[in-house]
A and B are shown apart, each in its own frame.
Chain A
């Protein structure tokens, strides 16, 4: 194969790739300084986040541009710019043209991430760069062959999109590594993080033995989702993988209105709610610490069915109860008022079906099916979302812990790797409650019990720093707040340099990806979530969303049977 000479070539030299400049300083820890050749490369040609290759004497390095800077040999250039000094347009232009690239020049900051020995074949493994090139090593724009050498295709890899400015190349994720540790998907509202997360989930379903449990707040992952920018509906996981994805709902009526037929309905018993759930909901319910903690006193007083009995009290009875159990009256009244709003939660039932609901979900997960729990109308209520996710996850996690311990003791098989998907993660994982919630525990214990998290959030600064630092792979679309950007990069290698890249992401369809699932930090334009993607996922072509929506239950079953067992 003819290669554009560069990182992916066989080391013959950088004859064909576009030269940008040469290394003039730097270090491994803070990155390298590259002076641009004024005549052949302009600062306007090189975007932050793009890739370059550096041709050292013994290693070829692959690096990402983290900053572009205008520099001058001396302050005179800044104080007396050419046009100012002459006042004559033509003479000023000449002086400016002369000075540009000599006394005034452009400099790149690049972060060398990967290296490959000069002379190794294209298939030679690129490894983490532990050295840096010498002074004046030539720097070239990365070619497609370079990208392919670093993000080379391996079995199980998942094509997420293309690197910045290189639409024909592919960035591949190592999905096995992705599922091994918790994952964070971040981005401000409207930046495309839902599409990114949906693609990752589709990849997990298609290409890994892991199963996922998706707490689908806005009902956009299960049956179908909405592409607001293009005003169209897109396929959800159930439509893409009808035989491997099972949908549950908290709001059956909503699911049916949307044309979806859930495989099960989840209900939670009042008796299954524990005071620890109230503690987690303190922020969502706008409760003081004292008010939230009184739930423990109430539970101790009423025992098993404490919540239902407490909610059934009149205002006067609450006053009596406060005196009886010795808690602050005002705090107890506040707790009572807030919990009364739960009367509207149709999924809360007198006698617990939660165990049954959890069991149903666990059964599907153990069969190797992925589960999406749609929240319907309750997705708009943060308290409902946090309550159900926390409660079900606690039960499922308990099961996984038991199975794992049994397997470790030689009894039974290891539980399948499980990825639990939650949105609005900062509601569960704020610094003051992260240590109490099951999600905080899962994040901290890594993959000890084969359970990891995929958290999706637009305010990562609200998430406990310890949890953030445990994320193995992070994908971040554009963020607006400095604190959020700092939080995304917390604990990351080269965080200072990546900060510049993160802050320059396009407001849509661009994400910085770094961590275990990629060999080096990379700015990706995620691939389109369209028919081509559906086809790659193995979905049946020619079945439009509209057609699927309109089908009857019998038609749906027949279609799923046909997909599983194609007619001769």
Chain B
């Protein structure tokens, strides 16, 4: 391997890693606030790419129908749970959030779509359509078992991923998509050609991580999320609703996953089931950060990207085997590094 090839592989790896980093940060965000290890984030990223591709092809994406169905389900569950607790007076508010808002988003997207919008608007539409999915899934799937063990939540999360893969095939079909590049700019650095897309990916990752940092440190909502992450009961006593914090975390997380999906779509062909590997690799990165540290997760994810890039040069067939085998030593290191109190398992 010459130094030229190594440089190309490294740049390639950093770009892939930056995409993973966005998803990894979202994963950490969700985990710290809700204790859910949200495996389906990769699917959200893949769905965004598929949504954008459908918009590019002037088709209304299946995401719309998915959001409508999930919104109806969430609203139904909300009605039932409010009726059970005798709090039907809260119904209008709940319905406006779980039913009207998602419908409005889909409606707006549908209307704007007909005006044949430019790329920038299509990007916004794709993100708009994708962002409601995770909060709705949270309401339907995770809220009823929010007090369960991390393991239970993880099991449910894995099952949810499989459901989403099936839905993905149903709503987007089996064809892979590759969207048009966001930029045709390219530059040369130290003798190696760097495409504008690569630069864009890295810049986007940096910008979004930076924004998240500002959000957490300088806004009250961000601080309330951090408080929930540290202690749910304690923050509840301070008037923070963990459910609301969870919803915000899911919104933010899926925004990051959506951005990563948009960034990866011009580089790799994305299928309805591509999300699993994106999600898991991001997740390997998140574990490097101990599932709690954002910079740790980002560094870990970039590391995974670089490793994958070099591994696929050595043996493209076994690159995934190599990446996942590496997870085990990382897990052992993390487990030794984190002093946690012993958790007894639910009877």
User: Are A and B associated in one complex?
Assistant: no
Residues of B within 8 A of A (CB): none
Residues of A within 8 A of B (CB): none
